[in-house]
A and B are shown apart, each in its own frame.
Chain A
Amino acid sequence: MSNTDLEIVVEDPTAPDDESPSVVSRRTIEIVASLVLLALAVLLGYDNWQTGIEWDSTGPQPGYFPFYLSVILGGASLYGLISALLSPGAKIETFVTRAQLRRVLLVFVPTALFCFATQFLGIYVASFTLIAGFMRWIGQIAWWKSLLTAFVFTAIMFVTFDVAFDVIMPKGPLEAALGR
């Protein structure tokens, strides 16, 4: 029979504080995003215009289709910009609080470092470092558990992709030393 006791409980000691102050409002981000998209539309539109948006003997030139898409993107972004500027409600709506941003950066920064490290160390060594480091420093999990999990997971990935399915992955000095 089913059990009504609350059996699965996972606590989160690093949970963000509900009272944390807002870093930026949703309206500000909507305005910034609309401006970026508008700039992108102008840039891509100009590039496609240079590529050619006319008709020649073989039909529409390569820039024809994407040029008009840039116009549509620009128009929609402009509409978004104006509606964000005119909506007072979104001004007080929080996009991210300080505590939330801190946690997002706790994932984003290690991920960016991992991407950087992959270029030099290869994906497996970088993966091992990311998993072990993340579990230890951010999750506050015991050293031995972090190292063991990272090793087992990386080994499974290596065997699955490199050995069993023959998918080529970026390698580094360690793999070179081991002759792979």
Chain B
Amino acid sequence: MEALGLLLHGFSVLLTWKILALMMVGLVLGVFVGVLPGLGGPNGVAILLPLTFSMDPTSAIVMLSCIYWGALFGGAITSILFNIPGEAWSVATTFDGYPMAQQGKAAEALTAAFTSSFIGSLVAVMLITFLAPMISSFALKFGPPEFFAVYLLTFCSFVGLGREAKHKTVISMALGLLIAGIGMDTVSGNLRMTFGSSDLLRGINFLVAVIGLFGISEILLTMEERLALRGHAAKINLRTVLNVWMDLPRYWATLLRSSVIGCWLGITPGGAIAASFMGYNLAKRFSKDSESFGKGRIEGVFAPETAAHASGTAALLPMLALGIPGSGTAAILLGGLMVWGLNPGPLLFVEHKDFVWGLIASMYLGNVVGLVLVLCTVPVFASILRVPFAAVAPMIVVSCAIGAYAIQNAMFDIWLMLGFGVVGYVFKKIGIPLAPFTLALVLGSRAEDAFRLAMIGSGGSLGVFWSNGLVGTITTLAITLLFWPVIDRIFTDVGRMLRPASAAG
């Protein structure tokens, strides 16, 4: 109940003309970013972050999170009308969304996608409203060993549960952590890994790296492919929207299942990609008519969209409550918090109530406004794709450069951005995942500080990470997750060996 009171306070912070206007600007920019080829949620948020430098933190985070919601909505437009998934988590939406568009049901498919995105986000925001304050007040009892154990858990689960080759995830993460350590050591004041360069003294800002890795590399990759588009136009009218909404209760089980999967995979760093596929596959499995999936079934749009958006939103829960982002975009938002001088983590709920509850309230409001906005303006946004890529590409490059420069007012950062663009291009093509890199870059110094403080406290004994039940459980869980593929294989092998014996018995 206390949460409801605080949420109402959040709405009171939010309901000013200035913030509502920023919210609209953010949503429109976000849908733009989601629709344009070569951009997406994380890139959009990273590139547009400098716009918010002169704002107060609440206005800034509201605008940025609305860019994020907008980008999520925008991704569905290209998936359904053009069969082009803007993000990997939109892939499952194309399975049934595009066939629906081919059958002349583009409006139904889009309404279903936007509505289920809204439902998924709503469930996750409700979870955040009630769970985040509880987790953060629990986390207030954490000391450095507990925090390091939680960071370790995050890193290990990326390695153990990720779908990429394990050594590639380790490379990505170790490189991110190392780059985060460049510059002046905050504890001793010593210089590390600067090699006498004055530009490296202040370290490598993670936003510069993200803009290069995601923005510039995506332009290079998009340019590499054929840029011809062939898609369906769509207009949504009120009758179609109402028809789809009237049908919604029939799919309550799918929506609920996908929401739960999404929330779970968002909080643990499973990610929106896994959530969308899992949501889709489970809907297919539980369906009485699973054969019709992939041929234009509305349930096939509901399931992945609900799961992806629940996951994308739930990824903000650990960011707010513990200061640990659950996704790449959450990591960028977290970087934003640090730029504005806020210290993400459990203390945020105590020290910056207005900010936290304003943000949570904006998640509710942003999603409602976003839903109405996209339903009304689909044809406008779909026609953005008519703009030739030769005009879009240099504009994105310029936006990236402005973004990279504005963070520290350094020309060196523009060159760094270009370098990271090439690294991102190569990494993406050889399958080194970029999300662990981003996460490591953001959390690197915090993880190192927690490790050093814990080790100082224990006089150098690693036993501190098993010194009490809580930290011991988290550390053991982290190590279990790290070796999960090996453990899983052992279980499977043992099971296979036992099965013939028991069958014979």
Contacts and interface: CB of A to CB of B under 8 A. Distances in A.
Q: Do A and B come from one complex?
A: yes
Interface of A: 1-12, 15-16, 26, 29-30, 33, 37, 40, 44, 47-48, 51-52, 55, 58-66, 69-70, 72-73, 76-77, 79-80, 83, 95-96, 100, 103-104, 106-108, 110-112, 114-115, 118-119, 123, 127, 130-131, 134-135, 138-141, 149, 153-154, 157, 160-161, 165-170
B297 interface: no
A114 B383 CA distance: 29
Given A2-B235, A12-B228, A107-B223, A51 B171 contact: no
Interface in B169-193: 170-171, 174-175, 177-178, 181, 185, 187-188, 190-193
Question: Chain B interface secondary structure, helix, strand, loop or mixed?
Answer: helix
B391 interface: yes
B107 A2 contact: yes
**Cβ-closest 9 pairs across A and B:** A139-B390, A7-B233, A59-B456, A4-B104, A73-B174, A2-B107, A12-B228, A134-B394, A62-B185
Contact of B390 (A134, A161, A166): A134
Residue in A8, A70, A73 with the greatest tally of chain B CB atoms within 10 Å: A8
A76 B174 contact: yes
Range of interface residues on chain B? Answer: 35 or more
B143 interface: no
A87 to B, nearest CB: 11
B446 interface: no
B330 to A, nearest CB: 23
A178 to B, nearest CB: 19
A140 B191 CA distance: 50
B226 A16 contact: yes
Contacts of A169: 402, 405-406
A106 B229 CA distance: 20
A8 B232 contact: yes
Contact of A8 (B181, B382, B393): B382
B414 A115 contact: yes
A157 B402 contact: yes
Contacts of B234: 2-3
A66 B425 CA distance: 26
B224 A16 contact: yes
Nearest to B51: A165
A76 B178 contact: no
A10 B422 CA distance: 28
Given A5-B233, A83-B167, A111-B421, 15 more contacts: A2-B108, A3-B106, A8-B232, A8-B383, A59-B460, A62-B185, A62-B190, A65-B452, A76-B168, A76-B170, A139-B388, A149-B391, A167-B54, A168-B406, A169-B406
A130 B190 contact: no
A116 to B, nearest CB: 9
A84 to B, nearest CB: 9
A72 to B, nearest CB: 5
B61 to A, nearest CB: 16
Nearest to B194: A47
Given A2-B104, A62-B185, A107-B393, A168 B409 contact: yes
A1 B237 contact: yes
B171 A12 contact: no
Contacts of A115: 401, 414-415, 418
Interface of B: 50-51, 53-54, 81-82, 101-108, 165, 167-168, 170-171, 174-175, 177-178, 181, 185, 187-188, 190-193, 195, 216, 219-220, 223-237, 240, 382-383, 385-386, 388-391, 393-395, 397-399, 401-402, 405-406, 409, 411, 414-415, 418, 421-422, 425-426, 429-430, 432, 448, 451-452, 455-456, 460
B388 A2 contact: no
A15 B226 contact: yes
A3 B388 CA distance: 23
A100 B227 CA distance: 12
A118 B417 CA distance: 14
A125 to B, nearest CB: 12
A104 B195 contact: no
A47 B220 contact: no
Given A80-B167, A96-B224, A135 B391 contact: yes
A80 to B, nearest CB: 5
B77 to A, nearest CB: 11
A70 B177 CA distance: 10
6 contacts: A2-B236, A72-B174, A106-B223, A118-B411, A118-B414, A149-B391
Nearest to B398: A127
A26 B51 CA distance: 39
Contact of B181 (A65, A119, A134, A167): A65
A55 B452 CA distance: 11
A78 B38 CA distance: 33
